[in-house]
């Protein structure tokens, strides 16, 4: 979001110089940020794209990746990468973190400079966050119990055309995370967050009984159901996430469970209030693709990147970094965008990581909010 005004300025200077611009809207790297979780359908993706365009205030054309991330996979893209392709289809410029200043320099060299280049200050662009119909910030966020991994989840969508038209959309979307013990089949921590999708402009109806969930194992008749219920709230409505942290143990690694959630929702425009029951497949496996709750990536990167400096030149280059982690390490360490990490960059990021860890602390079992966990394991 910080770089969109810079891109907008470049777009206005070069859009009439045979340079085409596209912003690719893809899966969300840090789900839950601003209350947004990945779309479940193409229709939802298009609505989220329109909302993003409105919030960013940009006139740069935006297109959507597929729900399976085909464009990202093909380009081996990072969360905020940029690419330039020449008229013959050759990739001539690539950055793993979008930087308007270096992009402008590249275009000046490749296409030519412009007279009176547009400045960001000339645009007067501001992020636009539409005012919610219901208040937020009334329900205190849960304290997270240390490092957790986002799980693979899938909504049970109606496939029959008639049933699909009758079924309500997933107004509230699930974000599930587990710690290492739970992922390995032991007793650990499981996080469940239900976020209202802002594209639907709805709010919780608290007097109707709150939100409840249950987890079952369809393949294990002896599995004791895990249930949870939100507490009673004094306020009638809000749009804050409904969150649970529970002690949990699956019967085996990679278990596929069925989660049922029930809640009552109301439209901000006063057109409807309705009870909703929906289902998910909850798989006790880590979601691939680099997704993490905002800020969680810091704990994943603890360590000294300079240990990968094989030739002793004082730089940990992309070729020297572990292939499976090079992209994400460069993304957050490489401040001058030269595809390498030097000692200063490593030290700066280490200090950020240490400060983040100092602010966080593990939540003990007896600190778990009983009113929110129900009769869980």
- pLDDT digit string, tens, across residues 266-279: 999 989 999 999 99
* Position 131 confidence tier, pLDDT thresholds 50, 70, 90: low
CATH topology of domain 149-288: Immunoglobulin-like (2.60.40)
Please return the burial class of 166, using the count of CB atoms within 10 Å of its CB with bins 0-12, 13-18 and 19+: exposed
Q: How many angstroms separate the CA atoms of 150 and 190, rounded?
A: 10
The ranges assigned to domains in the chain are 4-123, 149-288, 297-359
Task: Identify the residue whose tokens are 């990679």.
Answer: 254
Look up the CATH number of domain 297-359. 1.10.238
What is the per-residue pLDDT for 370?
A: 37
pTM here is 0.73
* Position 350 confidence tier, pLDDT thresholds 50, 70, 90: low
pLDDT tens-digit series, residues 208-250: 989 999 999 988 877 889 999 999 999 999 998 999 999 998 8
**Which regions of the chain does DSSP assign to beta strands (E)?**
23-25, 62-64, 82-85, 91-95, 149-155, 172-178, 188-196, 202-204, 212-216, 226-229, 242-248, 256-267, 273-286, 315-317, 340-342
Q: What is the DSSP string of 88-105?
A: TS-EEEEESB--HHHHHH
Torsion sign, CA atoms 179, 180, 184, 187:
negative
What is the per-residue pLDDT for 294?
A: 45
Q: What is the DSSP string of 288-334?
A: PSS---TTTHHHHT-S-GGGG-TT-SSEEETTTS-HHHHHHHHHHH-
- Paired residues of 94 in beta bridges: 83
What is the per-residue pLDDT for 232?
A: 93
Please check the confidence at residue 49 and state whether its pLDDT lies above 60. yes
pLDDT tens-digit series, residues 180-197: 899 988 899 999 999 999
- Paired residues of 203 in beta bridges: 266
Q: Measuring CA to CA, how many Å separate 98 from each of 13, 56, 77, 95, 118?
A: 18, 16, 11, 6, 18
CATH topology of domain 4-123: Glutaredoxin (3.40.30)
What is the per-residue pLDDT for 302?
A: 42
């Amino acid at each position: 979001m910080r770089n969109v005004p810079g891109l907008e300025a470049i777009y206005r200077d070069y859009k009439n110089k045979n340079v085409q611009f596209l912003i690719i809207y893809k899966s969300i790297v840090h789900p839950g940020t601003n209350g947004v979780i990945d779309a479940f359908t193409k229709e939802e993706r298009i609505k989220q794209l329109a909302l993003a365009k409105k919030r960013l205030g940009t006139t740069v054309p935006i297109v959507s990746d597929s729900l399976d991330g085909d464009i990202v996979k093909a380009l081996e893209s990072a969360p905020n990468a940029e690419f330039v392709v020449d008229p013959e289809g050759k990739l001539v410029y690539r950055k793993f973190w979008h930087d308007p200043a270096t992009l402008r320099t590249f275009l000046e060299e490749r296409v030519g400079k412009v007279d009176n280049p547009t400045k960001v200050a000339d645009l007067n662009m501001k992020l636009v966050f539409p005012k919610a119909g219901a208040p937020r910030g009334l329900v205190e966020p849960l304290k997270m119990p240390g490092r957790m991994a986002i799980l693979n989840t899938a909504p049970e969508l109606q496939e029959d055309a008639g049933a699909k038209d009758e079924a309500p959309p997933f107004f509230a979307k699930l974000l599930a995370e587990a710690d290492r013990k739970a992922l390995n089949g032991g007793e650990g921590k499981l996080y469940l967050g239900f976020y209202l999708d802002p594209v639907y402009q709805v709010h919780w109806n608290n007097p109707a009984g709150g939100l409840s969930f249950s987890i079952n194992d369809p393949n294990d008749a002896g599995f004791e159901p895990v249930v949870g219920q939100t507490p009673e709230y004094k306020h009638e409505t809000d749009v804050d996430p409904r969150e649970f942290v529970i002690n949990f143990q699956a019967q085996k690694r990679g278990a596929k469970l069925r989660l049922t959630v029930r809640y009552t929702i109301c439209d901000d425009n006063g057109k409807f209030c309705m009870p909703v029951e929906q289902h998910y497949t909850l798989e006790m496996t880590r979601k691939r693709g680099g997704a993490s709750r905002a800020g969680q990536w810091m704990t994943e990167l603890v360590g000294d990147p300079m240990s990968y400096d094989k030739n002793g030149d004082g730089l940990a280059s992309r070729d020297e970094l572990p292939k499976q982690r090079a992209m994400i390490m460069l993304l957050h360490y490489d401040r001058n965008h030269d595809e390498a990490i030097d000692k200063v960059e490593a030290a700066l990021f280490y200090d950020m990581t240490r400060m983040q860890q100092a602010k966080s602390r593990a939540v003990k079992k007896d600190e778990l909010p009983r009113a929110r966990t129900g009769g869980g394991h």
